[in-house]
Structure 1
C-alpha cells in the first residue's frame, strides 16, 4: 500500500468544527484543533480519551502506580514493575482489568495482589474504565482505529467517525542523503536560528546518537529547544548514580573505566594509571568518599555530591524520598534498584515549551510545526509490538504504521535527512517502508533521493589563538629506536601521536620490565638469588604488579612469574658471560627494582647496555651481551621463526607488521665488530611455561630461542663458502648425496662460475640458471645413489632458505641507507610541517597494530 495522504489540520478542523466533542488519539492533534477553534465553546472541544476521563494532563500511570504500591509489597522492584506493566498493558488492550487472570501464566498470587491494589488507585486506566461519554453530545471520533480498546470503551452509542487520511497517496519528499551524522547536524544549523526556532520540529529516535549531537549543537548555537533530554538524562543525576556505583563496586574497578567520573568530580588521576585498580592510586576526594560509603545514606551521599559539584538537586532528593530510600544506607543492591527505576520510568519535569520541538519518533504521532525535519528514518523508528497473549499484534501494528504515516506528513514542509551508510555498512530504512513503498530497496539511495555533500559552517571566530612570545624550533630527530622505526614505517601518523600522547602503564610493560630487571640482577648476583627463597622473590614481583591485579589474578600471575624466573635462571646458567667487553658505553637507564630490594648494584658491562649512534640514526637497549659477537634479547611474547624475523624486517617493501629490532641491533653491532659473523637471539622464555608447571617435563632451552645471524659478505660469496656447502651436505637425502659426491672444491668452482642470483625461489626453480646449474652438476657426478636433478632442486631451495633466515652484507648496507632516508624524511616533515600520512611504506595499515586507532580518521 502507498503512503496515505493525511488530512491537513485545517481540513480536519473543517470536518469537525460543528461537533460538540471531538475525540482524537494524540494530544498534539487535539491541541492543534483547539488552537483553530473559531467559536465560543464550553468545556472540552478536541480531547484525547485519557484527558477527557481524568480531566488532567495524562501522567505516566505505570510510574505513579509503582510508587504507590512499592511500600505495600514485598516484591522486588523489578518484579513489581513487570507485573504493573503487564496489568496496564492487558487492561489497555482488553478494556478489562481482570482479563489478565484468564491467562494461566499470569494467574499468580503476586499478580492478584498487585491487581487488587492497582484497581483501587486513581489511575488513568481505572478512570477510563468507569467513564462513558453521554449520548447528549454530538461526538466525532478522529482516527478511531488509532484508539486502543480501552480508549474506545468510553465512546457513546452513537458518534461519527472522521478519517485521518484521504484516499489519495502522499508523494513523500526525497530522502536527502548525507555522508555523516555531523553533516546532518551542520545542515540543520544552517537552517535553524533563534528567530525561527518556534516554527521548527525535529523528529528522531530519542535513543540514537542523533539525539545528543543535535541537543549539543542547538545548545552551543544558543538556539532554544524542548522535548529532548529528560530527568534521567540530567548529567548530575547520572553522575550521582555512577559515583554510588563506583564507590560500592569493590577493589577491582580500573581507573580508565571511571576516568570521566573522576574528572567531573575534579579528582584528576594521571593517565598513566589508567589500567591500574582505582584503590591503588590517589584519587583525592573520591578516596575519602569511598572510605565512608558504608556509613552513608542516599541522602547524605547526595549532600556530599551536591557540595562537591556546587549544585542543588531538589527534585532528585524528592524522588529518593518518594522511593523511600533517602535515609537508607547505600548498598550495591539499592543502587541497582535506583538505577533500574530511572531506566524504567521517565520522571516528569517542568520545562518551558519554547524553541525547536524535539519529538521522539517512537512515541509521537504528530507535531504541529510549519517545518518538520525527520532525522535518520532507520530501524530505530520502529515501534515495539508487545509479545503478550492478549495483544492483537495486527491491530497494534496497524496503529503503529498509521502513526508513522501521519508523523511523516507533519508540518507544511517536510525534510527527510538520512545517512546511506554508517561504518561502511548500508543503513536499513525503517521497515514500515516495506509496506508503504512499492519500489524494492535495500538502502535509501535505491529510493528517490538527493545526495548532499557536507556543509562547512562558519562557527564564529572558533577557538582563539594566543601567539607565543618566542617561536618554538621544530623537533630534530637524531636517532630512532627500533620500536619508533617500526611504528613510523607502518603508519607515520600513528608514530606522530605516539610522540604527542602519553600512554598508560600496562601490566605487560611492568611484567616485562620485572623479568628484565631480574635477568640483569641474576647475571650480576647469582649467589644472592640462589640464597633467596623463590616464594620471597615471587611475592616481591607480585607486589610490583599489584595495582593491575584483581584478587583472582594473583595466583595466575604468580605462576607466570615462577615460570619466567625459573626459565631465565636455567638459560643464564647455561649462558654465563665469558668476557667483560662493553660494546655499548652506557649502562641501562632507569632503576632496577631488585637493586633497591637487595641493596646491591648491577654494574656489569654485559647487561642492559644502552647504545646510541647518530651516524646510523639509531639507539637502543641491549638486554644481554653474551659474547661481543652475540647479543640476546628477552621476550615474553609469542615466538617467531627465523624466516619470519627476517621477513618482517624487509625494507623493499616493508610488511604490514614491520619489526626491525634484530636488523637494527646487528647493524649497530657490525660497527663494533666489523668483519665478524654476528648473532642475535630472541629468548622467548615464557614459551616454556607449560613445561615448568608440569612436574614431569623439563624445559628444552633450545626450543625457546630464535637466532638470526649476520655474515659479513655478500650472499653470492657466502653461497660459495664451506659453511653453505656443509648445509647442503646435511640436507635432504638427494641433496646430501649429490653434493657429498661433488666435493667442496668442485662446488666452489661451480658457484663461482654460476653465482647464486637474487630471484624469488618459484621463478628461480623454473629459470635458465636452474637448468644450467643442474646440467653442470650432472656432468661432474655419476653413478651415485641419488636423484641428481632432485638434489639440485633441493639445493636451490636450501640456499634460498639460508638467504631468508639470515642477514648478509647487502642487507645491512641497504638498511643503513634506509635509516638515513627515514630520519631525513622525518626531519623534513618536522621542518616543513608536512602532515604525517596515515599509511606507511607498505601502502596499508593493519588496525590491530596501531596504537591510536581511534585518532586516525581515515586514509589520505
Structure 2
C-alpha cells in the first residue's frame, strides 16, 4: 500500500536553486532549503510569506492583539478573544482585515472595536496586506495550494510553481505496535544518545500523554531536546495554576483531584484518602494549603505567587512577568480573575526561550516538514486529525486539502521513519488518524489491520536505565478464596491480580456499609440498650465518619437515609430475633466494632460477624449473622436482587457477566457444618424501603431475598411427593385442576420413563422429551382436554422457577469442583507458569466490575 511520494529536500533544492526568492508555506521547509545553499546569495532565499513581509521572526499576533484589547478596553476576556480569533482567521482566508464585517452573524460591538484596534497594531497580517514582492525578482513558489489567500496576496504577477509531491509512490514503513505508551517512549529513548540527539526528531500530538512522557524520559537520560514544553507545561507554572483553581473549588475538592499539587509540595497521603474532601481531612501536612485557600480572596496574584514560591522553594520570574504583561499582578485573585487567567493560558502560547539543540519535538498538527535523518512518529491516532475551522469564510475543501497534504508530507520526513503506535488502550481498539482512510485504498479499523509488526519489548539498543537482579520469586500457594476475590478472578484474572498489588481509595459506600454492619452486630448483642437517644447518637456518629466523603449540601439527605436504615435494622431484628448461638463454637474476635468501642460494651455473640476459613473446601468469608442452625443472613446496603437473579449470577458454565458467588459459597461452607439439612441464605437490604420508612409504611418482606438449598439432586426434588403436593395445593388453576385428578404415583411414573433436562428455560422444558411425556401421560389419566395441556405447562413453568431460584446438591457439588479448578489454575499463574489473562471464563470482562481498567492491556502481552 502506498500514497504519493513527497519530493526530498535535496530534489526540491535542485529545482529552485537558481531563483532569487523561494516562497514556501512552512518555516521548517524554508530552513531546510536554506541549509543547502551552495553559492553566495544576497538577502533571503527560501522564506515563508509572513517572515518575508514582517522581516522578522513570526510572532503570535492573536496574543498581541488580545493583550492590546485587554489593556485598552474592559471587554470580557472570552468575548474579546472570540472576536480576535474570528477577525484574524477571516483576514487570513479572505485577504483583508474588514472582511469579518461582511458576516453579520459574527459581528457585534466587540468585533467592531477589535477591528479598529487591530488596524492600528503592527501585526504580521497587516504587513502581509501591505507587502508585494518586487516584479523584478525571479520567484518560485513551492506548494502554492498550501498558501492562504492572504499569503498569496504578496506574490508578483509572474512566478513559477513547484509541487511538493513527485509522480512516484511512497511505500510507507510498517507500523510498530506496542502494548503501552511507556513502551513506545522507552523504545525512542533507547535509540537516542547525547551524541546522536541532533539527528533525531519525534513527532507527536502535543496534547497527548506522549508529550509529558518523552520529555521526562529524555530529562532522566540527560539527553537535550527542544520544541516541546510550553509556558504552561512548566511543572511549577501548572502547579501554581492548579493551586489557584483549587482555592476557589469549594469544600467538595477531593484529595485525588490535587495529587500533582501535593506531590510538588512534598505532601504524602495514602491512596485510601483519595475520595475524601480536603476540607474535612485532618492532617497537619495540609494546613498550608487550607490556609492559602481560606485567604485567597484577599491576596493579589503577586502575593499568591510569592506565597507559592516560598512554600515550593522555587522562583517563577517568567510567570510574574506574564502577570505584569496582563496587568493583573496587583489584582485580587478572585474566582473570576483566576478563571480569566486560566482562559488566557489555555488559549494563547506564551513565548518561552529555548535552546535549539538536541532531539527535536514537533507537534503533529503544526509541522509539515521535519528535517532530521531519523524521525519517530508516536501515536498516529485520531487525535492527529486537524479540526478544520467551520466558518463561512473558510473554504472547507481547500482547507482539507492543505491538512491532508501536510499530513502526507509530515509522514515522509527523514531518511528513516518509524511509526510507533498502540493497537488498543484500556481494552478498546485505537482508531488510526482519519487521513489514512483517504490515503490508503484498503478497509481497516485498527493498526493491526495494516502492515505492522507487534513488539513485546523495545527494539533498538538494550535499555540501560534498569539492571536485572536475581530475586527470590518463590510464591506461597493460595489455599482459600473469598466470594469477592472469586468474582473478580472469574470476571478478569488480570484485574484480580492487579487488585492484589494496587491499593484502592476508601469509598463512601464502603465506609457506610461497614458502619451499618457494625451497628447490626452491636444491636444483636445489646437490643435492650438501643433506644431513641442511642439511635440519634449513632446517626451523628455515622455522619461524622462519612463527612469527608459527602458534600455539605447532602448532609440532611444523608441524615434521613442513615436514620431510616438504622430503624429498619432494629425493626427486622425485633421481628426476627436470632437464636442464642449455643450450637456454635466460639470464634476469635473478627476485627473491631466501632459502636462497641464507642459505647464501651462488648460484642461477643458467636452468631455475628462469624469468620470462616474452610481449608478443606478452599473457601473463606465472614457471615454477618447465623440466625439459626439453618439460616444465614447478610446485611446489604445496595439494591435488592431477586432470588432468581442471585442464582443466575452464581452460574458456573458459563459464568454470568456479573459473577457473584456469595450465597453459593456461604451455603457450600455451611453445608459442611450442618450436612443433610435444608438451608437458607437471606440478603437483608435494609435501605431498599427507604422511601417507605420515611413515610412510616415499611414492609420488611420487601427488604429480604432468600435463596434456599435442598440436600438432594434437582431431579429427586422435582419428583418428590412434597413438590407434587405443592403443585396440587398452590399451583396455577389449570395445574391444580389437572394434578388433583391423578395420584402421586402417576406423576412419579413420568420420571421413571424420562429425566427432566437441567434448564431454567420453561419453553425448553415444555418442548423436551420429559415435557411431552408428562403431557401425554396426564392426558391419558385425565383426558385429552385443553386445560390438561395448559396445566402441564403451568407445572413445568413452576418447576423451572424453582430450579432458577434454588440451589440443590448437584449445584453445590459442582461449585466445590469449580473452586478446586480455580485454585489450581490461580496457583499455576501465581507461580509464573502462565500469564493472568484479561479475559475471564466468560470471555471479555464486564468492565463495569473492573477496578484497574487502566492497567489492563488487550491481548496476551
Aligned partner of 2:330 in structure 1 is: 327
Conservation of the 8 A alpha-carbon contact between 1:595 and 1:601: yes
Moved more, 711-720 or 60-69: 711-720
Aligned partner of 2:656 in structure 1 is: 655
Conservation of the 8 A alpha-carbon contact between 1:176 and 1:417: no
Q: Deviations over 1:21-71 (max 9, x none)?
A: 444443334333433444444443443343334332121122123223322
Query: What is the alpha-carbon distance in structure 2 between the residues aligned to residue 166 and residue 362 of structure 1?
Result: 18
Query: What is the alpha-carbon distance in structure 2 between the residues aligned to residue 859 and residue 536 of structure 1?
Result: 53
TM-fit CA distance, 1:429: 4.5
Q: Deviations over 1:91-117 (max 9, x none)?
A: 334443344344434554333333333
Moved more, 5-14 or 320-329: 5-14
Q: Deviations over 1:786-844 (max 9, x none)?
A: 94454445434434433443333444444445545544554565567654444444455
Aligned partner of 1:460 in structure 2 is: 463
Indicate the SS of the match to 1:726. helix
Residues 1:682 and 2:683 are matched in the alignment:
yes
Conservation of the 8 A alpha-carbon contact between 1:253 and 1:278: yes
Query: What is the alpha-carbon distance in structure 1 between the residues aligned to residue 842 and residue 8 of structure 2?
Result: 61
TM-fit CA distance, 1:683: 1.6
Residues 1:725 and 2:729 are matched in the alignment:
no
Indicate the SS of the match to 1:857. coil
Query: What is the alpha-carbon distance in structure 2 between the residues aligned to residue 406 and residue 825 of structure 1?
Result: 52
Match of 2:357 among 337, 351, 354: 354
Aligned partner of 1:451 in structure 2 is: 452
Q: Could you say if the C-alpha distance between residues 743 and 562 of structure 1 is closer, same or farther in structure 2, counting changes exceeding 3 Å?
A: farther
Aligned partner of 2:177 in structure 1 is: 179
Aligned partner of 1:737 in structure 2 is: 737
Q: Deviations over 1:104-154 (max 9, x none)?
A: 345543333333333333322333444455566555555555444444444
Aligned partner of 2:58 in structure 1 is: 58
Conservation of the 8 A alpha-carbon contact between 1:420 and 1:443: no
Q: How many residues align?
A: 848
Conservation of the 8 A alpha-carbon contact between 2:141 and 2:162: no
Residues 1:705 and 2:707 are matched in the alignment:
no
Query: What is the alpha-carbon distance in structure 1 between the residues aligned to residue 758 and residue 301 of structure 2?
Result: 76
Conservation of the 8 A alpha-carbon contact between 1:754 and 1:773: no
Match of 2:318 among 309, 315, 324: 315
Q: Could you say if the C-alpha distance between residues 229 and 613 of structure 1 is closer, same or farther in structure 2, counting changes exceeding 3 Å?
A: same
Q: What is the correspondence of 1:657-806 to structure 2 with a 5 Å cutoff?
A: 657-694=658-695, 698-719=697-718, 721-729=720-728, 730-743=730-743, 746=745, 750=749, 759-760=758-759, 765-766=766-767, 769-770=770-771, 781-782=781-782, 787-806=787-806
Indicate the SS of the match to 1:232. coil
Conservation of the 8 A alpha-carbon contact between 1:87 and 1:115: yes
TM-fit CA distance, 1:652: 5.0
Aligned partner of 1:494 in structure 2 is: 495
* Gap regions ≥5 residues in structure 1: none
Indicate the SS of the match to 1:742. coil
Moved more, 24-33 or 563-572: 24-33
Query: What is the alpha-carbon distance in structure 2 between the residues aligned to residue 582 and residue 101 of structure 1?
Result: 91
Q: Could you say if the C-alpha distance between residues 456 and 408 of structure 1 is closer, same or farther in structure 2, counting changes exceeding 3 Å?
A: closer
Q: Could you say if the C-alpha distance between residues 502 and 132 of structure 1 is closer, same or farther in structure 2, counting changes exceeding 3 Å?
A: closer
- Greater radius of gyration (CA): 1
Aligned partner of 2:564 in structure 1 is: 563
Query: What is the alpha-carbon distance in structure 2 between the residues aligned to residue 345 and residue 649 of structure 1?
Result: 56
Conservation of the 8 A alpha-carbon contact between 1:385 and 1:396: yes
Moved more, 2-11 or 675-684: 2-11
Moved more, 32-41 or 248-257: 32-41
Residues 1:387 and 2:390 are matched in the alignment:
yes
Aligned partner of 1:162 in structure 2 is: 160
Moved more, 510-519 or 294-303: 294-303
Structure-1-length-normalised TM-score: 0.87
Aligned partner of 1:255 in structure 2 is: 255
Conservation of the 8 A alpha-carbon contact between 1:204 and 1:358: yes
Cα RMSD, aligned residues only: 3.9
Moved more, 702-711 or 96-105: 96-105
Query: What is the alpha-carbon distance in structure 2 between the residues aligned to residue 6 and residue 857 of structure 1?
Result: 36
Conservation of the 8 A alpha-carbon contact between 1:585 and 1:611: no
TM-fit CA distance, 1:372: 4.8
Query: What is the alpha-carbon distance in structure 1 between the residues aligned to residue 792 and residue 185 of structure 2?
Result: 70
Conservation of the 8 A alpha-carbon contact between 2:643 and 2:705: yes
Indicate the SS of the match to 1:288. helix
Q: Deviations over 1:353-401 (max 9, x none)?
A: 2233333333234333445555555554444543344445455455555
Query: What is the alpha-carbon distance in structure 1 between the residues aligned to residue 289 and residue 203 of structure 2?
Result: 42
Q: Deviations over 1:136-191 (max 9, x none)?
A: 655555555544444444455x5x41212179524123252233475765765676
Q: Could you say if the C-alpha distance between residues 813 and 585 of structure 1 is closer, same or farther in structure 2, counting changes exceeding 3 Å?
A: farther
Query: What is the alpha-carbon distance in structure 2 between the residues aligned to residue 548 and residue 248 of structure 1?
Result: 19
Q: Deviations over 1:225-244 (max 9, x none)?
A: 32222223222222221122
Structure-2-length-normalised TM-score: 0.87
